[in-house]
Chain A
Amino acid sequence: MDYILLAEQFFNGFQLGIILFLVAAGLTLIFGIMDLVNLAHGTLYMFGAFFAATFVQLTDSLVLGMILTLPAMLIAGLILELSVLRTLYERDHLDQVLATFGLIIFFNELFLIVWGAEGTGINLPPYLSGLITLPGGITVPDYRVVIIISGLLVAVLLYLLVSKTRIGMLIRAGASNREMVGALGINIKLLFTLVFGLGAVLAGFAGMIITPITQAESGMGEGMLILAFVVIVIGGIGSIKGAFIAAILTGLIDTMGRSFIDVALMSFMDSVAAETAGPAISSMLIYILMAVILAIKPSGLFPPKGA
């Protein structure tokens, strides 16, 4: 097997893992702390993509457009939380699944009408359109390096926020024992709103930085949502660490599977059968992984303490 190709695919899988982590981190926090199953989290990812594309087009600057997107995401997240989602905290999971399913349906249609069927996109400026040669002769586009570095940076900031600050302490406490935080006299409503806003910004950030590559289209959030659910379930709901490890794992397995399963299959079956079975197995791979992990550890790899 080609060593450079293997290394490049590893890099690509890692990048997918980073994006998955950004979406899954908010999802797992919102779920772990508010006990809210938010199917519309993928919709926030779509928000990020469309907001960023629109702001970049308006300002004609990638950096400026992206900077504007983050507060816009925060506002959008807060509006959603205050208008609909807040009322769902006290409801059971079934209600949450249904109501947020309704949100998905609504926003997909709305975005389709506002931005048209063709969606929209972001063009990279020339200074980000080049290629970087990494040690070992691997060439990757500049912008993909930007994604990985900025994603890792956000992951580190999130880690510091959760483990070193007072807010983070409350978040951790909330994830393992909700009643206790309430008993401490903390304004739990405010904490919930803030956590939701944080999750919205993280998902929006993911949608934003991926748009120059994948472009923005209505309905783009659902594929990501289901992957993110797989990630948080594997990682253990409420655990940021679990989400990170599971996201990278899922990203790598998905990318590696797509690249090498057909080659692996060809070694013991004929090429036509391998070409058919390869994509089938590789697209099922992460779901198989999830089923196996849950069959062994029904609360995921890193269940938060007390849950």
Chain B
Amino acid sequence: MIRKLILAAPLAAMLVAPSAQAADDTIRVGINLVLTTPASIIGLNSKAGFEVALKHLGGKVAGKKIELIFEDNKFKPAIGKQKTEKLIKKDKVHFLTGFIFSHILAASAPVGLKAGKFVISSNAGHSMYSGKKCHKNFFNSAWENTQTPMAVGQMLNNEGVKKLYILAPNYAAGKQMITGLTRTFKGKVVAKALTPMSQRDWSADLSKIKAAKPDGVFVFYPGAWGPAFFTQYAQAGLHKTIPLYNAFSIDGANLPIFQKRKMTHLLGTMNANFWAPDLDNPATRKFVPAFKKHYKGQIPAHYAAQAYDALMLIAAGVRAAKGDMSNMDAVRRGMEKADFDSVRGKIKFGKNHFPIQDFYARKVVNKDGQWQLSRVGNAVLKNHAPTNSGECKL
């Protein structure tokens, strides 16, 4: 008998894992982010954005406590999906948000929507959800994937680039960047190089660029690709002759790293985005210093700004329903109305629940000894909605 008990004990221990029992006076927000692996630079920045928003809300909305539950998807769609299931079934969350990468969102969102939860992407802008597969409970507090490169394309026209060489990793987001860019860019694309995802040495491509003599190079190298590519670009001497433009490759999350590594050739490089830390509106003025205090003295990246808006959006929904989470329609209407101070100033959602917003050109500058992306001039795209919004039948 004792032997049986010894054997049964570990199994019993596995099953009786601590469970967060659902208390009704709490709004539980499940946040699915990549918090490990090198891609976690983005996830941790977003996480801090959510935390600052929670602080600004005083941890409460409509008399209810807000609880943030973070889960790490390890940059893998299958794990992202499992974590989503866990947030729904184990933690019994009311809202699912986070989601940095489109492929993880694509695996996770159907699970959340099927379970009748609100899903708010705070970054991943899969075009599926702005078009045909738009859903009444799906919101996006960022953008659709092709919008930002479209803004870059317009910026390149403004900058007078005529011959462009394009580089991006060979995966879906990389291809979407090229699609967006070529939609607005009016000059000639001399080459499109889709490099393997495992590639860390661009010597072959740099030789080709040299041979092609374009008057601008556009890259989409987020995360760990960026530092390696930019270093080699300078080593090949190209930074002196051909200006480098990018989308999502230089941002608030990796600028501190570039600065630490003294990659001064990046000062002056340009990209475009819907937000810059020096936008002039009340929420941004409040958010930037608060974030700096909260997270390693860093200036927030747009990831954090979107995360901030995502939680504010959730709060707006809960407020509209007076804290009654059983009234899903009221929550949804509140979110559609989006009555809160956004980092964009005023935020407006389209029928597909994606923001309709301005995009700005931004330049890397050294301001008071801290590198940051500073807005250049007026918006390059105004009141811009995802191109496929018309396909949404909501």
Contact between chains at A144 and B196 (CB < 8 Å) = no
Residue B86 is within 8 A (CB to CB) of chain A in the complex: no
Given A2-B211, A213-B232, are A118 and B192 also a contact pair (CB < 8 Å)?
A: no
Residue B26 is within 8 A (CB to CB) of chain A in the complex: no
Residue A38 is within 8 A (CB to CB) of chain B in the complex: no
Complexed CA–CA distance, A35 and B24 (Å): 62
Stretch binding the partner chain, chosen from B39-47, B114-122, B148-156: B39-47
> What is the size category of the interface that chain B forms with chain A?
35 or more
CB distance from A254 to the nearest CB of B (A): 10
Given A124-B235, A141-B237, A143-B235, are A119 and B204 also a contact pair (CB < 8 Å)?
A: no
Complexed CA–CA distance, A15 and B198 (Å): 17
Against A, the Cβ 8 Å flags (1 = close, 0 = not) of B223-248 are 01001100110111100000000000
Contact between chains at B257 and A118 (CB < 8 Å) = yes
Given A119-B38, A213-B235, are A12 and B224 also a contact pair (CB < 8 Å)?
A: no
Within 8 A of B (CB), among A98-122: 112, 117-119, 121
Contact between chains at A215 and B201 (CB < 8 Å) = no
Residue B170 is within 8 A (CB to CB) of chain A in the complex: yes
Q: Could you say which of B36, B39, B199, B210 contacts A139, with CB atoms under 8 Å apart?
A: B210
Question: Which residue of B is nearest A2, CB measured?
Answer: B211
Contact between chains at A9 and B207 (CB < 8 Å) = yes
Stretch binding the partner chain, chosen from A62-70, A156-164, A183-191, A217-225: A217-225
Contact between chains at A123 and B261 (CB < 8 Å) = yes
Contact between chains at A282 and B196 (CB < 8 Å) = yes
Residue B203 is within 8 A (CB to CB) of chain A in the complex: yes
Contact between chains at A213 and B37 (CB < 8 Å) = no
Q: Which residues of A contact B232 (CB under 8 A)?
A: 213
Q: Which residues of B contact A278 (CB under 8 A)?
A: 194
Within 8 A of B (CB), among A204-247: 210, 212-215, 217-220, 223
Residue B382 is within 8 A (CB to CB) of chain A in the complex: no
Contact between chains at A218 and B38 (CB < 8 Å) = yes
Residue A275 is within 8 A (CB to CB) of chain B in the complex: yes
Residue A165 is within 8 A (CB to CB) of chain B in the complex: no
Q: Could you say which of A117, A144, A282 contacts B38, with CB atoms under 8 Å apart?
A: A117
Given A5-B208, A121-B261, A141-B237, are A12 and B203 also a contact pair (CB < 8 Å)?
A: yes
List 9 tightest A-B contacts by C-beta distance, closest first. Answer: A8-B207, A214-B200, A12-B203, A117-B40, A118-B257, A279-B170, A141-B235, A215-B228, A259-B204
CB distance from B229 to the nearest CB of A (A): 10
Contact between chains at A117 and B196 (CB < 8 Å) = no
Given A123-B262, A275-B194, are A5 and B38 also a contact pair (CB < 8 Å)?
A: no
Complexed CA–CA distance, A8 and B202 (Å): 12
Question: Which residue of A is nearest B39, CB measured?
Answer: A117
Complexed CA–CA distance, A215 and B211 (Å): 25
Q: Could you say which of A4, A218, A220 contacts B200, with CB atoms under 8 Å apart?
A: A220
Given A8-B207, A9-B204, A275-B194, are A121 and B227 also a contact pair (CB < 8 Å)?
A: yes
Q: Which residues of B contact A9 (CB under 8 A)?
A: 204, 207
Question: Which residue of A is nearest B170, CB measured?
Answer: A279
CB distance from A132 to the nearest CB of B (A): 11
Against B, the Cβ 8 Å flags (1 = close, 0 = not) of A123-143 are 110000111000000010101
CB distance from A257 to the nearest CB of B (A): 10
Complexed CA–CA distance, A129 and B228 (Å): 15
CB distance from A125 to the nearest CB of B (A): 12
Residue B352 is within 8 A (CB to CB) of chain A in the complex: no
Which of A212, A214, A219: most chain B Cβ within 10 A? A214
CB distance from B211 to the nearest CB of A (A): 5
Q: Which residues of A contact B201 (CB under 8 A)?
A: 12, 16, 210, 213-214
Against A, the Cβ 8 Å flags (1 = close, 0 = not) of B173-214 are 000000000000000000010111011110110011011000
Contact between chains at A15 and B41 (CB < 8 Å) = no
Q: Which residues of A contact B228 (CB under 8 A)?
A: 213-215
CB distance from A304 to the nearest CB of B (A): 31
Q: Which residues of A contact B263 (CB under 8 A)?
A: 123
Contact between chains at A217 and B224 (CB < 8 Å) = yes
Complexed CA–CA distance, A139 and B241 (Å): 15
Residue B254 is within 8 A (CB to CB) of chain A in the complex: yes
Residue A178 is within 8 A (CB to CB) of chain B in the complex: no
Complexed CA–CA distance, A264 and B208 (Å): 16
Residue A28 is within 8 A (CB to CB) of chain B in the complex: no
New A-B pairs, 15, CB < 8 Å, besides A219-B38, A255-B204: A4-B211, A8-B207, A12-B201, A16-B201, A117-B41, A118-B227, A129-B234, A131-B236, A141-B235, A212-B235, A213-B200, A213-B232, A215-B231, A255-B203, A283-B198
Against A, the Cβ 8 Å flags (1 = close, 0 = not) of B252-263 are 001001000111
Q: Which residues of A contact B194 (CB under 8 A)?
A: 275, 278-279
Within 8 A of B (CB), among A137-153: 139, 141, 143-144
Contact between chains at B254 and A118 (CB < 8 Å) = yes
Given A144-B203, A217-B224, A258-B196, are A118 and B231 also a contact pair (CB < 8 Å)?
A: no
Complexed CA–CA distance, A5 and B212 (Å): 10
Contact between chains at A118 and B41 (CB < 8 Å) = yes
Against B, the Cβ 8 Å flags (1 = close, 0 = not) of A251-293 are 0000100110000000000000001001100110000000000
Question: Which residue of A is nearest B198, CB measured?
Answer: A223
Complexed CA–CA distance, A4 and B170 (Å): 26
Complexed CA–CA distance, A217 and B199 (Å): 13
Against A, the Cβ 8 Å flags (1 = close, 0 = not) of B1-41 are 00000000000000000000000000000000000111111
Instruction: Provide 9 A-B residue pairs closer than 8 Å at the C-beta atoms, listed in order of the A residue.
Output: A8-B207, A15-B203, A117-B36, A118-B224, A123-B263, A141-B237, A215-B227, A279-B195, A282-B196
